[in-house]
Structure 1
Amino acid sequence: MNARQIQLQAFERLLDIMDDLREKCPWDKKQTLQTLRHLTIEETYELGDAILDNDLNEVKKELGDLLLHIVFYSKIGSETNDFDIADVCNEICEKLIHRHPHIYSDTLVKDEEEVKQNWEKLKLKEGKKSVLEGVPRSLPALVKASRIQDKVKGVGFDWEESHQVWDKVQEELQELQEEVKLGNQDAMEAEFGDVLFSMINYARFLNINPEDALERTNKKFIKRFQYLEGKAGELGKSLMDMSLSEMDIFWEEAKRL
C-alpha cells in the first residue's frame, strides 16, 4: 500500500467514525452548524498556539481537531441534502484550478506577487464587487487590518517604499499627540486606530506578521510576569505588598533568562 492509499484509508476511517458518532452519540447527534461554530474558532486558535510554539506534535493533533470539524459540518450538510464532503472537496479543487491558471492553463507569471494580483483579479471576475469581500467581518481587528492591506495591495493600491510608510506612522503619531493634548476621547481613539493601522502596514513592508509579533511579546510578558510572581511567592509576599522598585529587580532577572 502506497502513501496515498494509506492517506485515503485514514480519511475514510474518519468518515466512518463520524457516521457512527452522528448516529449513536447523544452529544454528537444534537450538534448543528451553529453550535459547532464557536468550537471551531477555539480549535483554530489552539492550532495557532501550537504553530507559534513550533510544537509539531501538537500541530498534528490540532489539525486533526479541525479536520474533524470539517467532516462534522459536511455530515450535517449531507443530512439536509445541501452538500457533503465530496462537494466540499470538489468545490475547493475547482477553485484552486481556476485561481491557478499559471499551473492549469497557459497564463505566465514572473513571481509570487503576480500570482497574488491574478488571484484578486480572478475573484472580481467571479462576481465579487469588492476585493475586500473576502475579509471576514468577525476577524480580530489586528488580523483584519493585515488582511485588508494584503487585499488592496493585490490590486496595486499600496505604498512604493517602506520609508513612505514609516513617514506615515510618524504623521499618525503626531496627530494622536495633538488630540491627546486637546483631550477629545473620541478623536484620540480614532487617531490611535490610525497609528495601529499604519504600524501594521509598516510591519508588512518589513515582512513581519503583526499578529505573530504581538503574540510573541504577549508570551514573553507572561513568562516574565509569572517569574516575578514566583519570586514574590518565594519571599512569602503578594505583588500588591511589593514596591515597583522591588518588583523591577525580579523583572530584570526575568529578562536575562
Structure 2
Amino acid sequence: MTALMEIRDAGRTFNAGGKSVTAVKSMSLVFPGDSPRLITLAGESGCGKSTLALMALGFLAPTSGQVLFEGQDIATMADRHRRQFRRSVQAVFQNPFEVFNPFYRVDHTFHLALRQLGMDRRSSEARQAVEGVLARVRLDPQRVLGRYAHQLSGGQLQRIQIARALLLKPRVLVADEPVSMIDASLRILVLRQLVEIKEQLGVSILYITHDLSTALQISDELLIALNGEIVERGDPLEVVTRPRHPYTGMLVRSVPSSDPNDRWTSEIPDTPR
C-alpha cells in the first residue's frame, strides 16, 4: 500500500552571505496509508527538527531528497493536488500568541478555514462545524468565540489552533512543540487530545519536541535527531530505556525528576510529571 506521507532522505541547506548552512542533512520517516500513526521527532534546539516540520508542511522545499504525499512529490504536484495537500496536512505551531492576528477576533481563523471548505461562515452548517471542533478540544464556544487573542490563555489559544486544523478534516497534523509554552496542567490535556485525534479521527501526527517524557507518553515511534540527521529510531520505551546512541543516552539522563526512584512510563499522567 502507498504510504500516506513519506519524507525520503530530505535535506535542507540555507545560503546567506556567501556561506552555506545545512540545517537538515538527511532525514526519513513514513506514515503508513493503512492506519494512523503518531511519530515523534525529538532533539535539542538546532538539530533540524523544526526545519523538517516546515518541509513536511510544504513551506520549505528540500534541497535534496523528497517529501511524498500519497506517492506524489509535493514539489512537483499539480495545482489541484497541491490544494488538496494543503488541506490534508495541517499545522499546530509552538507559540499560540504569534499565530493569531491581534486585530481580529479568534473567529477569524475559523472563517479562513470555512472559506477553504466553500462554506458560508454565517450558515448554521458552518456554526455547527465550528462548535463541533471546539467541543472536540474541550472548549465552550460561548467562552472563546467573539474574543481577541489577548483575552484568552495560551492553553485556550493552542486548543483553538488544533480546532481550526480539525475543521479542515486533515489526514496529517504537524505539531511543532505544541505544549512547550503552556501551563503544565494544560500540557496533559493537550497531549491526551492529540492521542484522541489519532485514535478517534484517524489522523496521523508528527510531534516535534525536545521533551522525551511527553514523547514516550504519546508516541508510536520515536526518532532522535542530532545535527540534521536521525541517529536513533524505534519503539519509544525501547529507545529511552535501552538507548543505542550516546546522544540518546545523554538526552535521557538530562530529563529532570524530583524522585530518584522515578521510572519512565508510557502512560500520560493524571498530574504533571
Do the two structures share a fold, i.e. TM-score over 0.5? no
Structure with greater proportional helix content:
1
Structure with greater proportional strand content:
2
TM-score calculated relative to the size of structure 2: 0.26
TM-score calculated relative to the size of structure 1: 0.27
Larger Rg belongs to? 1
